[in-house]
Amino acid sequence: MTKITPQPGILDIAPYVGGASHVAGQTDVVKLSSNENPFGPSEAAVEAFRRAAFDLHRYPSTDHAALRKAIAEVHGLEASRIICGVGSDEILHLLCQAYAGPGDEVIHTEHGFAIYRIGALAAGATPVEVPEKDRTTDVDAILAACTKATKLVFIANPNNPTGTMIGADEVQRLADGIPDTALLVLDGAYAEYVEGFDGGAALVDQRDNVVMTRTFSKIYGLGGLRVGWGYAPDHVIDVLNRIRGPFNLSGPALAAAEAAVKDQPWVEKCRADNTRLRAWLADSLAAHGVPSDPSETNFILARFDSADEAAACNDYLLSQGLIVRMVAGYNLPECLRITVGDEASCRRVAYAIGQFKGGAR
């Protein structure tokens, strides 16, 4: 037996499992398991990425000034309070590393994103899981779970994998009610799908205990690039920049993300298509006896009569070359999370679920 062991907590982490992308024996596969943008990124982002190939011998910028300026202009934010990371995952990990350690508690909700628990355990802290109410963040339950040891409270708003969100009043009440030694982290990975929503940026501006995280992986269609960002009070930005790797983002990633954020017409087009196709998909599934909560994101959480039925439907969809996401690991065994794809994919998955419900197995 080796005497070399990792820090406490690390072996409690169940390795993250991403959405599948292949089905054995199937060639015409539709991947609806990772909430990717079916239309891909802005053409301007692809072009910037290509151009960046000519500078691969150069180290990238360490302060990400150009990307932060572009984000700040688009969103009306203070560039000095923006930090960029290798996906928003890196920002979430940096927050855990900086603010939570052994003996500290990190709150997440029962259907919350897996990275919150992983980040807490990786930092040696204790993750605390709080119930939701009808698959929606329950502010009272979170406040009741807070203790003197609470250092971080993570919510995604809108949430993954439920697709639901809570209003600005509730978020404000949460920020007001947590201990004054804790930070509230608002994960806005899906904020762009909600017309006119600032992701909580205004709250960050008003307070010293709220952080917002955002990503280029979802509506921007750049999941393969790994770029995310955070907006936080000055004191938090100062702390995170001390532990962030100076060259965490590559030159091509910085260039493509900057071009992407400047192409807001593309974002608006993708948002409009998603809203339309999401409504069609939810209505179609409901007509087949598969309800879902009103979703504010680019996926719907389809509810089946039982965990067995959800698993059987997942198998049937795979046999038809359709990959969706089982979410039993998020305490939702009777549900399947289905990304809103392009129109053909939505039709294909709705048709297959109709066949399944009609007796096809």
Nearer to ligand PLP (CB atom), residue 89 or residue 192: 89
**CA–CA separation, 1 vs 272, rounded Å?**
57
Q: Which is nearer to ligand PLP, 218 or 348 (CB)?
A: 218
113 near ligand PLP, judged by CB under 6 A: yes
**Phi and psi torsions of 204, nearest 5°:** -60, -45
Which residues are CB-neighbours of 225 under 8 A, at least 6 positions away? 49, 216, 217, 252, 253, 256, 257
DSSP state of 18: P
Residues 6+ apart with CB under 8 A from 189: 88, 113, 156, 160, 213, 214, 215, 217, 218
122 touches ligand PLP by CB under 6 A:
no
334: closest CA among 111, 158, 34? 111
Q: How far apart are CA 313 and CA 354, in angstroms?
A: 10
Site for ligand PLP in 166-225 (CB under 6 A): 187, 189, 215, 217-218, 223
Interaction of residue 89 with ligand PLP, rule CB under 6 A:
yes
Q: Contact with ligand PLP (CB under 6 A): which of 41, 60, 87, 200?
A: 87
Q: Give the residue nearest to ligand PLP (CB).
A: 87
Is 6 or 18 the residue whose CB approaches ligand PLP more closely? 18
Please, what is the minimum distance in Å from the beta carbon of residue 289 to ligand PLP?
27
Nearest to residue 94, comparing CAs of 85, 104, 82? Answer: 85
Q: How far is the CB of 295 from ligand PLP (least distance, A)?
A: 13
36 binds ligand PLP (CB under 6 A): no
Q: How far is the CB of 223 from ligand PLP (least distance, A)?
A: 6
- 33 binding ligand PLP? (CB under 6 A): no
Residue 103 is given by DSSP the state: T
- Which residues of this chain interact with ligand PLP, rule CB under 6 A? 35, 87-89, 113, 156, 160, 187, 189, 215, 217-218, 223, 228
